[in-house]
Chains A and B, each alone.
Chain A
Amino acid sequence: MDIRFEKVDFTYQPNTPFEQRALFDLNLTIENGSYTAIVGHTGSGKSTLLQHLNALVKPTKGTVTIGDRVIVPETNNKNLKPIRKKVGIVFQFPEAQLFEETVAKDIAFGPKNFGVSGEDAARLAAEMLELVGLDASYLERSPFELSGGQMRRVAIAGVLAMEPEVLVLDEPTAGLDPQGRKDMMEMFQRLHEERGMTIVLVTHLMDDVANYADHVIVLEQGQIVKAGTPQEVFQDIDWLKEKQLGVPTAAIFAEKLRAKGFSFEGLPLTAEALADDLLKGFKKAGGDL
């Protein structure tokens, strides 16, 4: 399911003294099965953009096409549920959305809203809880007695249980410990690879972008300033530094090595790519392993 933006403008509170334009003439396509990363400063319009992806807000100008549904400013607010089922959004700090008595009920809440029967929803809840790395003993516990990290997992399971085709993640690992962060990102990667889920990731962590994404969109003040593969976007390190966007760790290290006289074909963005390049250079120089 493709998501396409055509000349999308969005203004908050139009015609009031608090009017604020957040998106300017945006054109972009999120292709079916892709792993898209959206990066940019705070206040660049990322979160506003996210809310367009499942019609939580409508553009003030332009069209958003989600699958075969076209959203224009005049679109009626009714019958948007099918879109919301297909595009699941994990908002920032999703643990704030938990409310049911038990973890099982909370995870099943989403699917039930979309008409899944009680039994199936319970089965989905158990399955998703396992997927996010918690065992079945948590099913009957209250979500409010869990730790922050566990609450996060339950909240994410609640979105996954809707079985969306597109999964939108707004900084899903913010505030998690390094291991939790890694587990979480690898789980999303598995969903992407094994179930062919389209993933849209908003993040400030360029290492995650380099490791997982196949398409990067750079937003600045509500406009797209760069888009392409991570290779293309990260190639110009000076530009990134100028925009204060951060550079993947591997690329910084490679850049330092380059200054010392090493040569790389492209700029390696991940630790693996860097290791491969170094190994190649080592062999070329006549090294023996």
Chain B
Amino acid sequence: MNKLIFGRYIPGTSFIHTMDPRAKLIASFYFIGIIFLANNWQTYAILAIFTLFAIFLSKVNIRFFIRGIKPLIWLILFTVALQMLFTQGGEVYFSWGIFTITEFGVINGLFIFCRFVLIIFMSTLLTLTTPPLDLSDAIEYLLRPLKVVRFPVHEVSLMLSIALRFVPTLMDETEKIMNAQRARGVDFGEGNLIQKMKAVVPLLIPLFVSSFNRAEDLATAMEARGYQGGDGRTKYRILHWHLKDTVVMLAFAILTGVLVLIRS
């Protein structure tokens, strides 16, 4: 659990750290969108350089990004393998029954690999440099237009910020209960599948119970402090859009233009 880098925040004051979270959120989603424009080596190279430059700007050690890939490596390799085995066309390197490894297959597989790695790098960059609460503020702001269609923007963003706030607390709690049950002789992750599943019960039930209790306490505390819903509230944390956020948006526009030009 502790090895999970993805989705955690490293405090800092770099260029990327001080960007507006809305800009970062839009940029990350936009990046995932335009990565599908890439279809040859040149375009992938440009995207890779762009990503590495962004990582350089964030001043976070690249090792942490590479470690962020580790938990997903099997999923990536599985997808790459499927691509390699089932894509037809070009020179045939190897053939066995329905499985053929062809030139196009290998190239496609490598492209998919790059695509995965770049997407993970970019989203890790977002979460490593943006505090979760800023992120939820940004989401609230960006969802605002949906109010027109009666989407409960405030409620969703409130739930989101509470959920984000309690992720580390619940992780700590999980670890504590796990330790307490291990001290009582529970072996987590040992034995066959049924034994493993049974071992989770002494962990899950206390976690649910404590979540219920916590929710009740939190709701009472919120009401006692005068919370009555989203209408008529003012904001404490106000987001500021700076010049550099516009610059980053421009950089993305230029990147899109270049990709469209040199894609084959």
Question: In chain A, residues 53-77, which have Cβ atoms closer than 8 Å to a Cβ of chain B?
Answer: 54, 56
B180 & A81 in contact (Cβ 8 Å cutoff)? no
B177 & A96 in contact (Cβ 8 Å cutoff)? yes
Number of interface residues of B (CB under 8 A): 28
Residue numbers in B under 8 Å from A98 (CB-CB): 206
Please measure, in the bound complex, the distance between the C-alpha atom of A244 and the C-alpha atom of B185, giving whole angstroms.
Answer: 37
B185 & A91 in contact (Cβ 8 Å cutoff)? no
- Which of chain B's residues has its CB closest to A144's CB? B209
Among B182, B185, B206, B209, which residue has the most Cβ atoms of chain A within 10 A?
B185
Question: In chain A, residues 62-105, which have Cβ atoms closer than 8 Å to a Cβ of chain B?
Answer: 78, 81, 84-85, 88-89, 91-92, 94, 96-99
Q: Tally A-B pairs: CB < 8 A.
A: 69
Interface on chain A toward B: helix, strand, loop, or mixed SS? mixed
B206 & A159 in contact (Cβ 8 Å cutoff)? no
Cβ distance A88 to chain B, nearest Cβ, rounded Å: 7
- Which of chain B's residues has its CB closest to A89's CB? B183
Please measure, in the bound complex, the distance between the C-alpha atom of A159 and the C-alpha atom of B183, giving whole angstroms.
Answer: 8
Please measure, in the bound complex, the distance between the C-alpha atom of A91 and the C-alpha atom of B179, giving whole angstroms.
Answer: 9
A17 & B185 in contact (Cβ 8 Å cutoff)? no
Cβ distance B51 to chain A, nearest Cβ, rounded Å: 19
A17 & B10 in contact (Cβ 8 Å cutoff)? yes
Cβ distance A129 to chain B, nearest Cβ, rounded Å: 16
Closest 6 CB pairs of A and B: A113-B185, A99-B205, A110-B184, A97-B180, A89-B183, A91-B180
Interface residues of A (CB under 8 A from B): 12-13, 16-18, 51, 54, 56, 78, 81, 84-85, 88-89, 91-92, 94, 96-99, 109-110, 113-114, 144, 158-159, 162
Interface residues of B (CB under 8 A from A): 2-3, 5, 8, 10, 60-61, 64, 67, 173, 176-177, 179-187, 190, 201-202, 205-206, 209-210
